[in-house]
């Protein structure tokens, strides 16, 4: 039950598919492990830093607000826990020379100061490292003055526009709003000097945004009425001059990874820390790794399957389907061969490019089930075989397999825990051929399982989905709501391609906040009885965000054949997202869910319908950024969210995307000096923006070990190699580039949309 509740919590929160650090099992190699011996050090540390303005003038009377990072007590649990960041004391005011200094603090803990001074925006220092002691003088911190932006808002004819809401969000410490007066004038204060994104919203006018400089006076802002001809439109970004060719990327990856791969392949046992290098080797030279694979041992045995899968994907990506089939034939066990035959060829590119190889693989899988493995022991694989046979055009063979599956299902004991799961899986497979038969098979399944089945049925028979779910009530429990969170997005997208109105009816039926159903839920609230601290506000936020995401997918699915329905869905999504401007932190993982990213996900669909509308949504997304100060795990999660937003923004405005990344990259670098490894998403965003800058940035990271003993420079380089090796983000076809980025960002938000 505990596992089920945690799974539900992750689903309800739409938690990221990947929130990994650039360290440990995912990205570190054996050379990264640092020695544990240290010289005898003092038991205290004193932090000292000079506070300056942007011109370098010292700031007298500046103060520092202290934050500290406490590593987990058990270093062996490094991959399962996070360091805790907590706030502490305020230092005394600096002297005339601008130096801020703390009292002696306990050593073996990392510290960072937020420097505060009157008339200046607060700024973080660089972190200290847990291995440092005595007096640690940090690099000077330069604070930006608070600035004020004033201006006048007019329409195209130069007439003043009163009662315009002026918004500045994300560039300071809090969201700022002002309203133009009767003369169309506005004033926004407490904006850090430099560039700032300012947006303008007024009834009857198109939403507008631009980058202004703080401080500045007398800005003249021209708004467009909704009916004005020739409105401003959103233009795709021009290709980056820094974007590397495939040859350049391959050369950089080879230079970094080849020495590490050579080292790892000389070892007889692959440690968990080296598995990422072996996976990289499998992607780069699959035949070389395959030749060595049977002679290798793994500290984590399950990694061997991941390596084999990577080998298969690489062979297919390299255009060698026959080599992939030959490799599978050499696997030691029938179970390993069966898995590979079924799944190596079920995804792209094999699914489209190599249909004959896929049919050969399915034929061999059938032979294994006929002679090498008892089907009763592998009913799920048998069911998968039937579904794939149907997809490749062998309907008679598929129907025979479906009959076998039903016979196995009938022989399974009623108390067999896998029986219900197989029944739903079989219903999904059978629905390709007979939706009514699928409905009977799944008749007694839980509502969330039926919604999962409906999402898959919608691939082939979207017109039958409403009938399939006709008897499934919309009043779901919190546990059942996981079926909505995982499966309603693809369900809405697929049905909308056929009937957007039906997709909306399904959305409104199932995306609802559950009512208390038990006495305990009535007493403690929904989620309170699970010990998960899922407040009513949190659940409402998640359901609202889910509805907004689904409306966006309905718009995407209907844009080509029903533009009016797509516009309606976009309007509904916008209206749902606007009130969520504060965002929400998931109680367990603390991943930050902001409304800015879901709003930005709407832009590519709007671009297909109306580039002027796309421009409005683009700036609406930027107006919903979250402002935060200080240092915390929460802010680290918000930085990930900003990276996702920047990746979408750079598809239309590369300089603006880089502007969004700038403070995140700076904070991420600073954290490495506190022993905190950078998150994957920051490095990915930086590498996509500029590989040269990403590699140079990796060289500036702290050369001391992280709190769990890894060096981040090599780990960051491996992440950069991973980004450079992937075709995602580098496709010359812009539409494919946009599609890839949408899939990536959605997956982080827990919205998994398979390519149909």
Whether residue 53 sits in one domain with residue 101: yes
In a domain, 421, yes or no: no
Q: Could you tell me if 50 and 97 are in contact, meaning their C-beta atoms sit under 8 angstroms apart? A: yes
For 397-425, what is the mean pLDDT? 89
Residue 32 has pLDDT above 50, yes or no: no
**Span 121-173, pLDDT tens digits:** 999 999 999 989 999 999 999 999 999 999 999 999 999 999 999 999 989 89
Tokens of 376: 């009763």
Q: Residue 12 has what pLDDT?
A: 33
CB atoms < 10 A from the CB of 98, how many? Answer: 22
Neighbours of 588 (CB within 10 A): 14
Are 130 and 198 within one domain?
Answer: no
- Asked if residue 450 has pLDDT above 90, the reply is yes
CATH number of the CATH domain containing 123: 2.60.40.1120
Same domain, 51 and 126: yes
* Ramachandran angles phi, psi of 11, nearest 5°: -70, -50
Of residues 728, 744, 517, the one with CA closest to residue 645 = 744
The answer on 218 and 206 residing in a single domain is yes
Tally the domains of the chain.
2
pLDDT in tens, 609-623: 999 999 999 999 999
Question: In this structure, are 63 and 138 located in the same domain?
Answer: yes
User: How far is the C-alpha of 371 from the C-alpha of 247, rounded, in Å?
Assistant: 47
pLDDT of residue 1: 29
Q: Has residue 40 been placed in a domain?
A: no
Domain that holds residue 68: 45-142
> Residues 117, 130: one domain?
yes
Would you say residue 522 has pLDDT above 80? no
C-beta separation of 383 from 350 below 8 A:
no
Residue 560, domain member (yes or no): no
Based on the domain organization, do 168 and 107 belong to the same domain? no
Burial of 108 (0-12, 13-18, 19+ CB in 10 A): middle
User: Quick one: 181 and 118 in the same domain?
Assistant: no
Query: How confident is the model at residue 378, as a pLDDT?
Result: 86
**What does pLDDT average to over the chain?**
87
pTM value? 0.90
Residue 96 maps to a domain: yes
User: For the range 532-536, what are the long-range contacts, defined as Cβ-Cβ under 8 Å and sequence gap of 24 or more?
Assistant: 532/5, 532/9, 532/587, 532/588, 533/587, 534/9, 534/12, 534/478, 534/587, 535/587
Say how far residue 367 (Cα) sits from the centre of its chain.
Answer: 40
Q: Which of 32-46, 267-281, 467-481, 521-535 has the lowest mean pLDDT?
A: 521-535
pLDDT range class, residue 38, cuts 50, 70, 90: very low
The CATH number given to whatever domain includes residue 168 is: 2.60.40.10
pLDDT in tens, 284-313: 889 888 888 888 888 887 788 888 888 988
Predicted confidence (pLDDT) per residue in 73-87, tens digit = 665 544 445 677 888
Confirm whether 528 is domain-assigned. Answer: no
User: Are 153 and 126 part of one and the same domain?
Assistant: no
pLDDT tens sequence across 232-249: 999 998 765 457 888 898
Residue 158 lies in a domain: yes
Whole-angstrom CA distances from 456 to 398, 467, 578, 753 are 17, 14, 31, 11
Report the share of the chain in percent with pLDDT over 90: 58
**Of the residues 222, 240, 259, which one is the last residue of a structural domain?**
222
Residue 83 lies in a domain: yes
- The mean per-residue pLDDT over the stretch 180-198 comes to 97
- pLDDT class of 525 with cuts at 50, 70, 90: low
Distance set, CA 625 to CA 237, 686, 688 (Å): 21, 19, 21
Both 154 and 209 in one domain: the answer is: yes
Q: Among 142, 160, 188, where does a domain finish? A: 142
CB-based burial, 695-730: b 16+ in 10 Å, e otherwise:
bebbeebbebbbbbbbbbbbbbbbbbbbbbbbebbb
- Strand-pair partners of 46: 135
Is there a single domain that holds both residue 197 and residue 134?
A: no
Q: Does residue 204 sit within a domain? A: yes
Identify the pLDDT of residue 532. 54
H runs (alpha helix) in 272-416: 275-284, 286-293, 303-317, 321-329, 334-343, 350-353, 355-367, 379-391, 395-411
What is the predicted pLDDT for the residue at 81? 56
Question: Of the candidates 91, 107, 142, which is a domain's last residue?
Answer: 142
The yes-or-no verdict on residue 539 having pLDDT over 90 is no
Which residues, in sequence order, are bridge partners of residue 177? 167
């Amino acid at each position: 039950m505990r596992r089920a509740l945690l799974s539900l919590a992750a689903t309800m929160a739409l938690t990221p598919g990947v929130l990994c650090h650039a360290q440990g099992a995912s990205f570190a190699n054996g050379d990264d492990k640092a020695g544990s011996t240290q010289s005898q050090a003092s038991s205290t540390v004193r932090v000292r830093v000079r506070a300056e303005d942007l011109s370098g003038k010292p700031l007298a009377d500046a103060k520092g607000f202290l934050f500290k990072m406490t590593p987990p007590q058990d270093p062996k649990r490094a991959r399962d826990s996070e360091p805790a960041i907590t706030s502490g004391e305020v230092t005394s005011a600096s002297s005339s020379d601008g130096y801020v200094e703390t009292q002696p603090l306990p050593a073996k803990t990392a510290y960072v100061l937020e420097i505060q001074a009157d008339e200046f925006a607060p700024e973080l220092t660089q972190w200290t490292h847990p291995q440092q002691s005595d007096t640690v003088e940090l690099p000077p911190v330069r604070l930006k003055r608070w600035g004020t932006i004033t201006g006048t808002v007019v329409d195209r004819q130069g007439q003043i526009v009163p009662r315009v809401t002026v918004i500045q969000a994300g560039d300071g410490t809090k969201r700022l709003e002002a309203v133009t007066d009767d003369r169309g004038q506005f004033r926004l204060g407490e904006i850090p000097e430099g560039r700032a994104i300012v947006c303008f919203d007024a009834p009857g006018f198109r939403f507008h945004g631009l980058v202004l400089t703080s401080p500045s006076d007398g800005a003249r802002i021209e708004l467009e009425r909704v009916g004005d001809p020739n409105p401003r439109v959103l233009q795709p970004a021009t290709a980056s001059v820094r974007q590397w060719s495939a040859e350049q990327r391959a050369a950089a990856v080879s230079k970094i990874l080849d020495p590490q791969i050579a080292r790892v392949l000389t070892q007889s046992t692959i440690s968990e820390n080296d598995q990422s290098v072996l996976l990289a080797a499998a992607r780069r030279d699959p035949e070389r790794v395959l030749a060595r694979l049977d002679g290798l041992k793994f500290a984590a045995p399950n990694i061997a399957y991941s390596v084999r899968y990577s080998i298969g994907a690489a062979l297919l990506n390299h255009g060698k389907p026959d080599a992939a089939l030959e490799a599978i034939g050499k696997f030691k066990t029938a179970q390993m061969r069966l898995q590979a035959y079924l799944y190596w060829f079920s995804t792209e590119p094999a699914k489209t490019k190599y249909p004959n190889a896929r049919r050969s693989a399915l034929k061999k899988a059938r032979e294994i089930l006929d002679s090498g493995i008892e089907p009763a022991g592998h009913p799920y694989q048998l069911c998968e075989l039937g579904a794939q046979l149907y997809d490749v055009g062998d309907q008679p063979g598929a129907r025979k397999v479906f009959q076998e599956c039903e016979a196995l299902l009938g022989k399974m004991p009623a108390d067999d825990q896998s029986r219900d799961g197989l029944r739903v899986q079989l219903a999904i497979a059978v629905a390709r051929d007979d939706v009514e038969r699928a409905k009977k098979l799944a008749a007694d399944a839980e509502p969330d399982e039926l919604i999962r089945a409906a999402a898959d049925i919608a691939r082939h028979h979207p017109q039958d989905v409403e009938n399939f779910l006709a008897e499934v009530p919309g009043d779901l429990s919190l546990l059942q709501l996981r079926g909505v969170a995982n499966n309603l997005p693809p369900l809405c997208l697929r049905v909308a391609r056929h009937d957007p109105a039906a997709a909306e009816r399904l959305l409104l039926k199932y995306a609802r906040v559950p009512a208390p159903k038990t006495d305990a839920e009535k007493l403690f609230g929904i989620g309170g009885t699970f010990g998960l601290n899922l407040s009513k506000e949190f659940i409402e936020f998640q359901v609202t965000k889910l509805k907004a995401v689904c409306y966006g997918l309905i718009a995407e699915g209907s844009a080509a054949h029903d533009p009016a329905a797509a516009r309606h869905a976009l309007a509904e999504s916008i209206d749902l997202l606007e009130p969520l401007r504060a965002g929400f932190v998931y109680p367990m993982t603390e991943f930050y869910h902001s409304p800015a990213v879901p709003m930005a996900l709407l832009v590519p669909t709007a671009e297909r319908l109306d580039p002027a509308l796309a421009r409005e949504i683009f700036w609406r997304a930027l107006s919903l950024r979250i402002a935060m100060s200080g240092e915390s795990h929460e802010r680290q999660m918000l930085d990930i969210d900003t990276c996702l937003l920047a990746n979408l923004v750079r598809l239309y405005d590369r300089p603006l995307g880089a502007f969004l990344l700038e403070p995140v990259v700076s904070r991420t670098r600073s954290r490495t000096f506190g022993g905190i490894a950078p998150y994957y998403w920051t490095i990915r965003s930086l590498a996509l923006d500029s590989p040269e800058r990403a590699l140079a940035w990796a060289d500036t990271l702290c050369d001391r070990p992280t709190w769990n003993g890894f060096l981040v420079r090599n780990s960051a380089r491996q992440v950069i190699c991973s980004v450079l090796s992937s075709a995602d983000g580098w496709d010359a076809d812009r539409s494919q580039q946009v599609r890839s980025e949408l899939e990536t960002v959605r997956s982080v938000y827990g919205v998994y949309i398979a390519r149909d």
